[in-house]
Chains A and B, each alone.
Chain A
Amino acid sequence: MADLRTNFAGIKSPNPFWLASAPPTNSGAQIHKAFEAGWGGAVWKTIGAPVLNVSNRYGAWHYGRQRMLAINNVELISDRPIEVNLREIVEVKRAWPDRAVIVSAMVEAKPEAWKDIIHRIEDTGADGIELNYGCPHGMSERGMGAAVGQVPEYCEKITRWVMDVAKIPVIVKLTPNVTNIVLPARAAVAAGANGLSLINTINSIVGVDLDTLELTPSIGGKGGHGGYAGPAVKPIALNMLASLGTDEIVSKSGIPISGMGGIATWADAAQFLLLGASSLQVCTTVMHYGYRVIEDLCDGLSNWMDEKGFKTIAEVSGRSLHRVSEFKNFDLSFRAAARINAERCIKCDLCYIACNDTAHQCIDLVTPEGKVVEPSAWDPRSNGKRAAVETRLQPVVREEDCVGCRLCYNVCPVDQCIEMVELPPRRGAVTWNELSQKQTPVTEDWKAMEAYREKVGINIH
């Protein structure tokens, strides 16, 4: 069985799954329960400046019957008295010495305030500190949270104040509400942070109530952007994670990264690890289903690692980073085409309409006799399941016209029905980068491009 033990900047935990700093880590009683369920660690809900919360603070985005594909919130940092939080941290850490207890903190941008909170956290026996530079609402209006994370200079300055006094590992949590997440990450590295974590929640408005025309949720008739999280944000988080892992400064520093943003299953978790995370934080799925999700997260990940022959989390971490590249480095001669497995195909024809309306018009509908026909070619007087099923048209890809865009593969509701088949390239490998260096006019002038296409045999209709 795979070894899930994790050592993140010196913070040890029996598995890489930590509860993110959020409502699930609001109190000692909750974290006790979470640790009983098997969580490897918990990042205590942010303590610091005094706050008051509002009702209707959680919005959510549902898609079809899938509830909470994402959650949106305007909840602030812990609204419980700071002494109560600190006392409970002591109790939790004492009761669970093998688990990671990290305390998230956020105070006003004054060195004394930060120095004070760091000392008080260290006195609890906690394993680490996470600096909340990400909260996108409320706190940011007061110059904290994302207001810090969005300005690399502030990020660096405050991190330095903290690093000057901190004796336990310090993790800087980054906000995704920036144009380039690499810059605040580099700032944290420059200031000597021990770890990074990302992503915090994304600015969002979840919707408008079509009866009242108020925002959803409505807080006394008003609404505003809140932090967006949950399965829907995962691709955004993965991209930001990978952009740190592939940044020379960040990666050379060797700073570990705790990944989060939409981890709902062990498969999500594995993907975060592969793109460079070495610990994982989870929130929305827990808010949806409770702490019990840890069981599948751990044994699903462990089973996958066993199947793949990975023995430790460290072996997985960053394993796919070398695959991360940019368009300019992709091989333009790489070819794939869609192939529909007629045995598996249920003939819903979603691939047909997607291809013909919006892609490259290279899927035909073929009668059982092998004739290509237009859709809805049946007689309005025909009826009954036999006529419908026996004359049902089979979608077939015209491979010579298929550009391999992969849209049909994505819309197909049947597993392993459409396959993207790699085809032998028709010309030598070349990237846009190489083309623009060696044959500059081709990349700058349409006429030269057309001549190039003619020469190498690229025919786009």
Chain B
Amino acid sequence: MDLAVRDVRKALAEQLPPLTPNAAAVEADRCLFCYDAPCAHACPTHINIPQFIKKIATHNLRGSAATIFASNLLGATCARVCPVEELCEGACVLGGDHKPISIGRLQRFAMDDARAHGNYPVVKAAPTGKSIAIVGAGPAGLSCAGTLALLGHAVTIIEKRTLPGGLSTHGIIALREPVEIALEEARMIEGMGVKIKTGVEIGKDIPPAKLQKEFDAVVLGVGLARTPGLGIAGEEVVIDGLEFIEASKVAEDKLSVGRNVIVIGAGNTAVDCATIAKRLGAERVTMVYRRTDREMSCYVHEYDFARKEGIEFRFLSQPARVVLEGGRPVGLECLRVELGAPDASGRPSPTPVKGSEFTLAADQIIKAVGQNKLTLATLLGLKTTKGFIDVDASFQTNVAGIYAVGDCIRSTGVASTVMAVQDGKLAAAAIHQQLVPRSAPVEVK
């Protein structure tokens, strides 16, 4: 089914409307202005949430945005994509017997106002004479770049794609974050003096050694690569989930959605893929997962959202083969799975049951089962663990002067945009200490 660009944008228009000034004021007034607030602790970037909300309540929106930017330069993205139920809002003291403050939506309100008025952070520091290259214009790279720029460093971001923003631009369903928000955030960072060179790939367009020679420090915020292979017959017709989301955001004319869609995987990206397919007209969308809803890696609120969207689930099903007819998929053959003792991930190990084959009809199959690691680390001779780059407490790799931040170092636990932003910020502070040794310590919370 081919879709008009216009229809895609309409179907995937931002899910939550912005708060009206009145709604924002009512909500801001509900905030208790806790001291040493748990929301600020729970926020990976530790935004002084009570303070920015207080400033919304007093109509000091310029000050509110400044408070957010002081801890998180990507406040506009985070306001939209953060799993607030697991972070700030999940820790709100009013959550116990009442309703937590809508921190995410209030932050978006303040960030929208900053965007509307161009109230962005301004570099006041004197130039340090140091230059830093950042590879990757995703959230980690942008956060690191902006923080370094504010400290007076000359920063250049090298991005292999044609658009900056990383997953914010390409990998998060538009109804959570429209492309324009991510691009505007990158423009804001550029406005702080950061050069962003897009369409340039390290190892292809620039030899890695050149970077190390020309810059005082190099920061890798390269994220991860495409979805790994499933190792099943007929895989060549299976669509990469990240490419599917990307097409829905920046190449709508290339997007095609089936009538009967299967999404393999049960993470947040899988939910995004399923939602896009459903919203763009698929009659039936089924997420296929080898474990159960107790083990799936998407957030509980994403699972609830998917069910409300009318997405179906087939748990305890292991894809075995794509059924093809004339080179096109017509179904996905699966094996029934039994769960056994916990495996290395701590979740029960899935064991496919021999002879339990069954086939789910499908004319489009999408996989969203995690991401591969990039080869750049090997190219630079960096130590890795399971493909993730090893860093020390100051985000430095085993090679002096090369730092790494974001998803490419997140070997355990959940990776998220806001954690990448915090990495970038902490790494920037560490680099600053390293390059300007006598500088006053940068206070980072």
**Which residues in A have some Cβ–Cβ distance to B below 8 Å?**
64-65, 346-350, 352-353, 365, 375-376, 378, 380-385, 387-389, 391-393, 413
Docked Cα-Cα span, A393 to B36, in Å, equals: 9
B25 lies within 8 A of chain A by Cβ: yes
B 5-35 binary contact with A (CB < 8 Å = 1; else 0): 0000000000000000000011001001111
Which residue from chain A places its CB closest to the CB of B36 in the assembled complex? A375
Cβ 8 A contact of B35, one of A348, A380, A382, A391: A348
0/1 interface trace, chain B 87-100, chain A, CB 8 Å (1 if under): 11011011010000
Q: Does B370 count as interface, using CB distance less than 8 angstroms?
A: no
Report the minimal beta-carbon distance from A371 to chain B, rounded to whole angstroms: 16
Most chain B CB within 10 A, of A352, A375, A380, A387, is at A380
Q: Measured between alpha carbons, how far is A191 from B235 in the docked complex, in Å?
A: 104
Known: A350-B32, A388-B41, A413-B32. 20 other contacts (CB 8 A): A64-B29, A65-B29, A346-B93, A346-B96, A348-B34, A349-B36, A349-B37, A350-B34, A365-B36, A375-B36, A380-B422, A380-B444, A381-B426, A382-B41, A383-B418, A384-B86, A385-B38, A385-B91, A387-B41, A392-B41
Bound-state Cα–Cα, A383 to B46, Å: 8
Asked if B93 and A353 make an inter-chain contact with CB atoms under 8 angstroms apart, the answer reads: no
* Chain B positions within 8 Å of A350 at CB level: 32-35
Hey, which chain B residues are within 8 Å of A384, CB to CB?
A: 42, 44, 86-87, 90
For A65, the closest partner residue in chain B by CB is B29
Are A383 and B419 closer than 8 Å at their CB atoms?
A: yes
Task: Find chain A residues with CB under 8 A from B347 CB.
Answer: none
Assembly CA distance A221 to B130 (angstroms): 57
Q: Among B41, B96, B418, which residue has its beta carbon within 8 angstroms of that of A378?
A: B41
Provide 24 A-B residue pairs closer than 8 Å at the C-beta atoms, listed in order of the A residue.
Answer: A346-B93, A347-B34, A348-B34, A348-B93, A349-B35, A350-B32, A350-B34, A375-B36, A378-B41, A380-B426, A380-B445, A381-B422, A381-B426, A383-B46, A384-B44, A385-B90, A387-B41, A388-B39, A388-B41, A388-B91, A389-B38, A389-B90, A392-B91, A413-B32
B57 interfacial contact with A, CB 8 Å: yes
Of the listed residues B34, B88, B418, B419, the one surrounded by the most CB atoms of chain A closer than 10 A to its CB is B34
Chain B residues with CB below 8 A from A381, complex form? 422, 426
Main DSSP-derived SS at the B contact region: helix
**Bound-state Cα–Cα, A353 to B33, Å:** 11
A383 touches B93 (CB 8 A): no
B-chain residues with CB within 8 Å of residue A380 when the two chains form the complex: 46, 422, 426, 444-445
- The number of chain B residues touching the other chain, given as a range, is 20 to 34
Give the distance to chain A from B80, nearest Cβ to Cβ, in Å.
18
Residue of B nearest to A66 (CB): B29
**Measured CA separation A391–B36 after assembly (Å):** 12
Q: CA A280 – CA B35 in complex, angstroms?
A: 41
Residues of A within 8 A of B419 (CB): 383
For A348, what are the chain B residues with a Cβ–Cβ distance below 8 Å?
32, 34-35, 37, 93
Choose among B26, B42, B94, B444 the residue that contacts A383 (Cβ–Cβ < 8 A). B42
Q: Which of B36, B39, B87, B90 has the most CB of A within 10 A?
A: B36
**What residues of chain B lie closer than 8 Å to A387, measured between beta carbons?**
41-42
CA distance A384 to B297 in the complex (A): 16
A387 CA / B90 CA spacing, docked (Å) = 11
Chain A residues near B426 (CB-CB < 8 A): 380-381
Chain A residues with CB under 8 Å of B36's CB are 349, 352-353, 365, 375-376, 393
Given the contacts A64-B57, A65-B26, A346-B96, A385 and B86 also touching, CB distance less than 8 Å: yes
Query: B188 at the A/B interface (Cβ < 8 Å)?
Result: no
Asked if B43 is an interface residue, CB under 8 A from chain A, the answer is yes
Q: A346-B93, A349-B35, A353-B35 are in contact. Are A388 and B42 (CB under 8 A)?
A: yes
Q: What mask results when residues 383 to 420 of chain B are scored 1 for a CB within 8 Å of chain A, else 0?
A: 00000000000000000000000000000000000110
Q: Give the most central of B25, B35, B445: most A CB within 10 Å.
A: B35
A367 to chain B, nearest CB (A): 13
- B32 to A: closest C-beta gap in Å: 5
Q: Tell me the complex Cα distance, A353–B36, Å.
A: 9
